[in-house]
Amino acid sequence: MSTVVTDTHSAHDAHDHHDHKPTGIKRWLFTTNHKDIGTMYLWFSFLMFLVGGSMALMIRAELFQPGMQLVDPHFFNQMTTMHGVIMVFGAVMPAFVGLANWMIPLMIGAPDMALPRMNNWSFWILPFAFLILLSSFLMPGGAPAFGWTFYAPLSTTYSTDSTALFVFSMHIMGMSSIMGAINVIVTIMNMRAPGMTYMKMPLFVWTWFITAFLLIAVMPVLAGVVTMVLTDKYFGTFFFDAAGGGDPVLFQHLFWFFGHPEVYIMILPSFGIVSAIIPAFARKPLFGYASMVYATASIAGLSFLVWAHHMFTTGMPTFASLFFMYMTMLIAVPTGVKVFNWVTTMWRGAMTFETPMLFAIAFVVLFTIGGLSGIMLAITPVDYQYHDTYFVVAHFHYVLVSGAVFSIMAAAYYWLPKWSGVMYDDFLSKLHFWASLISVNILFFPMHFVGLAGMPRRIPDYALQFADINAIVSVGGFLFGFSQLIFLAVVVKAALKKGEPAPAKPWEGAEGLEWTVPSPAPYHTFDVPPQVK
């Protein structure tokens, strides 16, 4: 009898995994499918992008004109802190992890990520981390108000009790990042299709492979420094308190030893995305594949030797200042190699300007502007003028907004037809691009000028001579913020399958190059891994 029962089920089971596929909420809670987990990461990061963005709009509303009008200074400091933490750990990093989850198995011909249950866990602890962080608004004294860099003694001696929640949520985010990174490394090292050597991997896979090693190296440093903040505040230690023999500058060394590689964690996957999109729409192979791999690895290595360029004004020895100045300038070399290779890939290509390509080209131009202001900040003697002004804010937002965020949008538009099965709304996507491009420059470019004129960052009021430019900047901020609702509309429309069905090759003529390997790859669909001989 049992054989009969088994047989009746076998045809049904051929489609389902073993016994059943959970549906509804269970599908998302218990899923070990890399596509589902990638989707959850992407939606979560977009939600956090909107939350963190609304905090930025509160900051810009206060700064629209001089004087205090909307919020009290303490709440303003809470906004700057939470905006930074949420955008870095809640928006940019989970978006890249989501893209890694979705695309790495497909690009290397693996059936899934290597550690699927850990994959599920590394996502599901994230919403709780941010719930803990956001709940600090409900505590007496409110949310943390010491900047996303949480410098001691602001975070130890002068902070409210919400510091404990901040530290706890940072630990959980760090656990999530480390598990995600281990998963990426194990998957790439052990699950590539036969014949896919390391130097045949698409550049997105390479950049994530290198990023994952960076994550594993620096996340424990962050865990250590937040724990020292916790014990200084609650358990009577004196790591960062000169009264007990500690040193607040030690905090900065530890934090930036994590913090500088962290900013490369937030840009290296962007390089991989742009290296996939530009060849596809220029219709020629990526120029200098091997040099791109080596440049990425060099950037990652050098990122550990530049942390104190954030600390030129702390009074370090001249030798140390010079060392960090030259190391920082050295990073411009492999970065320049990358920009050169992207431009050369486009040179005399048969380019078309679909939305992903528009975002990728904007990325190259605007990221380069951010890189040039970075070289200015690297020059020790003039950094005394730039330090802690809006010039720094302009610099890192060019790299992280028109850099990392634009590349994430490029990736979303590029792969959305594959993910959703429908072509997204072309008019709305182009509207989103142009609205974002124009507003992001109205928002961040004028900041260079108020910064050079000496306007300090993170202060809720300012001198009268900065009023006009701040009004312009705030208008740009609101335009940029509301432009992102167009993106939401495009994605929701595609998710609801409203649109033309996507063809097997959504980017006709570009498809042969979608796996960016040194020579045009064999034909493929995303469901069947490429057969590499």
Q: Look-up: residue for tokens 């690009």?
A: 107
pLDDT attached to residue 529: 52
* Backbone region of residue 456 per phi and psi (left: phi > 0; alpha: psi in -120 to 50; beta: other values): beta
Q: Look-up: residue for tokens 């990174």?
A: 181
In a 13 Å sphere around the CA of 423, the CA atoms on its Cβ side amount to 14
pTM of the model: 0.91
Q: How far is CA 302 from CA 264, 327, 335, 364, 380, in A?
A: 10, 7, 11, 21, 18
How many other C-beta atoms lie within 10 A of the C-beta of residue 318? Answer: 8
Q: Say if residues 457 and 147 touch (Cβ distance below 8 Å).
A: no
Q: Look-up: residue for tokens 């507003």?
A: 439
pLDDT attached to residue 366: 98
Q: Look-up: residue for tokens 């609702």?
A: 485
422 forms bridges with which residues in the sheet?
Answer: 501
Distance, in Å, from the CA atom of 140 to the CA atom of 410, rounded to the nearest integer, reads 42
Distance, in Å, from the CA atom of 108 to the CA atom of 34, rounded to the nearest integer, reads 13
pLDDT attached to residue 23: 82
DSSP track, 304-339:
GG-GGGG-GGG---HHHHHHHHHHHHHHHHHHHHHH
Helix (H/G/I), strand (E/B), else coil: 196: coil
Cα of 109 vs its chain's centroid, Å? 25
What tens-digit pLDDT sequence spans the chain (533 residues)?
444 444 444 444 444 445 567 788 999 999 999 999 999 999 999 999 999 999 999 999 999 999 999 999 999 999 999 999 999 999 999 999 999 999 999 999 999 999 999 999 999 999 999 999 999 999 999 999 999 999 999 999 999 999 999 999 999 999 999 999 999 999 999 999 999 999 999 999 999 999 999 999 999 999 999 999 999 999 999 999 999 999 999 999 999 999 999 999 999 999 999 999 999 999 889 999 999 999 999 999 999 999 999 999 999 999 999 999 999 999 999 999 999 999 999 998 889 999 999 999 999 999 999 999 999 999 999 999 999 999 999 999 999 999 999 999 999 999 999 999 999 999 999 999 999 999 999 999 999 999 999 999 999 999 999 999 999 999 999 999 999 999 999 999 999 988 888 888 888 655 544 444 444 444 444 455 555 54
pLDDT attached to residue 335: 97
Q: Say if residues 286 and 292 touch (Cβ distance below 8 Å).
A: yes
Least Cα distance to 407 among 266, 265, 274, 275 occurs for 274
Cβ within 8 Å of residue 402, ≥6 positions away: 362, 363, 366, 367, 369, 370, 440, 441, 444
Angle at 503 between CA 502 and CA 504, to 5 degrees: 120
Distance, in Å, from the CA atom of 442 to the CA atom of 392, rounded to the nearest integer, reads 16
pLDDT attached to residue 21: 75
For residue 456, what is the DSSP state?
Answer: B
Structural domains present in the chain: 5-18+28-532 (1.20.210.10)
The residues carrying an active-site annotation are 83, 112, 148, 176-177, 260, 262, 264, 275, 309-310, 335, 338, 457
